[in-house]
Structures are given as C-alpha cells and as structure tokens.
Amino acid sequence: MIRKATLHDLDRLMEIYDGAKAFMVRSGNPDQWIDGYPQRSIIVADIENGYCHVWDECGIIHAVFALIPGEDPTYARIDDGQWLNSKPYAVVHRLAGDGLVANIGQKCLEWCFTKFPNIRVDTHSDNYVMQRILYKMEFCRCGIIYTHNGTPRIAYQKDLSK
C-alpha cells in the first residue's frame, strides 16, 4: 500500500536511499546521486510538504518517492525537444526501492497516475534501470533539462488526460 511518509519513517527512508545509491554505482550510474544527495533535509522537507510517499507492506517500507504537484523550475528550460503539453502536471522525484519487491518502480509510478494524469520525470543518462521503466510504461522522451547544479537529465512525460 502507498501512504504518505512521516518523520517516524525517516531512518528507513535514508537506508533505502543509501542502498539505491550503492546499486546505482554497481549498475554503472555513479554520478546521479552525488555529494550526499538526497540529503536528509530534503527528505524532511518532502515529508513536511506532504510530497513524500512510501510503499508499505505490513509495516515494512520497500520504496520511497516524492510526488510534487505544480511546476518544477528546472523544467522551464528544455533542450533538444519539447514537453508534450503545458497542462498542469506533477513531478516524480527521488524514486528508490530496497530491491525486495518486483517492479516496485513501475508500481509506484502507476499509483502516481491515480492522483495526477499528467506526469513528468527526469533521470540521469546512465540510469538505465529508470529509463527501462519509463520506456516500458510508454513515457515519451521529451528532451534534456538541467538540475539546480546544472547537470543534464533526460526529461520524460506521460499524459493520460488526452
């Protein structure tokens, strides 16, 4: 079941993020989450703003993600393409799982579509795991956006409200 995260969940969420970072390095993606990202303070802010959600099975958290409605400032500029539309959207950030539930990334994204029909996501060019999930779910590759520190990310969008 997916529910909103609480501050009580914070230690487990950081464990999942630490495991995801190690998995990224082993999978050939050492540069996406660097310099301690996502920092505990970011996750606390996600929780306090009601953005942070968890996949909880019988009291055990297996995945975490932020579902953020509204415009993302890093999505204002897109190179090498364009967004599918300018309709209101939500963004999924910081999706990570503990590796114990099959297809959990896809399941979390499917749940997001029950809340918002128009979703945007970005990922690192070396994050082939996330790219495969987005391809399988028929997200459209829209172009390249740049994070707050200027690093490029592949931008995707899927709109079910057509």
Domain ranges for the chain? 2-159
Helix ranges, the chain (H): 10-26, 40-48, 104-115, 128-136
Residue 101 has pLDDT above 80, yes or no: yes
pLDDT, one tens digit per residue, over 13-65 is 999 999 999 999 999 988 898 888 999 999 999 999 999 999 999 999 999 99
Fold of 2-159: Aminopeptidase (3.40.630)
Looking at the DSSP assignment, which residues form a beta bridge with residue 146? 152
Burial of 81 (0-12, 13-18, 19+ CB in 10 A): middle
Alpha carbon distance 64, 52 (integer Å) = 7
Which pair of structure tokens corresponds to residue 21? Answer: 């970072």
Give CB contacts under 8 A, 24+ apart, made by 103-107: 104/55, 104/62, 104/63, 105/63, 105/129, 105/130, 105/133, 106/133, 106/136, 106/137, 107/55
Contact partners, residue 102, CB within 8 Å, separation at least 6: none
3-class DSSP state for residue 79?
strand
CB 159 within 8 A of CB 117: yes
Question: What pTM was computed for the model?
Answer: 0.95
The stretch 132-153 carries a mean pLDDT of 97
Instruction: Tell me which residue has tokens 């390095």.
Output: 25
What pLDDT was estimated at residue 36?
A: 84
